[in-house]
């Protein structure tokens, strides 16, 4: 998913959008190498090296990847959308936000 995530971050640069990752890899040093190699420029949190770590437990995540689209009020608007569906969900939310600014 890294290529799509990179394109999404680039396309939405300057917009009120943030991509946040959570990673459960057991080797934190190796993870840092992968994040650098894959040019991951967005914030990525470490889940303690376990899929049952504190972040996945708090968010009731039991499958990977799990994707949440969250609005500016912290409300989950979409879950597990990928590819073009993810783009549409994010774009619709941004349009809604921009419409409310007017």
Interatomic CA distance for residues 36 and 17, integer angstroms: 22
Interatomic CA distance for residues 10 and 55, integer angstroms: 26
Interatomic CA distance for residues 15 and 100, integer angstroms: 15
Please report which helix (H) or strand (E) contains residue 58, including its range. Answer: helix 54-58
User: Tens of pLDDT along 48-90?
Assistant: 999 999 999 999 998 889 999 999 999 999 999 999 999 999 9
Q: How far is CA 60 from CA 57, 68, 89, in A?
A: 5, 12, 21
User: Tens of pLDDT along 28-42?
Assistant: 999 999 999 999 999
Inter-residue contact 23 to 48 (CB < 8 Å): no
Inter-residue contact 50 to 68 (CB < 8 Å): no
């Amino acid at each position: 998913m890294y290529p799509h995530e990179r394109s999404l971050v680039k396309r939405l640069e300057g917009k009120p959008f943030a991509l946040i990752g959570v990673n459960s890899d057991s080797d934190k040093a190796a993870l840092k190498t992968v994040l650098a190699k894959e040019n991951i420029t967005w914030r990525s949190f470490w889940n303690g090296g376990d899929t049952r770590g504190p972040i996945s437990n708090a968010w009731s995540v039991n499958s990977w990847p799990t994707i949440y689209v969250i609005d500016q009020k912290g409300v989950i608007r979409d879950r597990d959308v990928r590819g073009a569906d993810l783009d549409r969900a994010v774009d619709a939310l941004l349009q809604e936000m921009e419409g409310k600014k007017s």
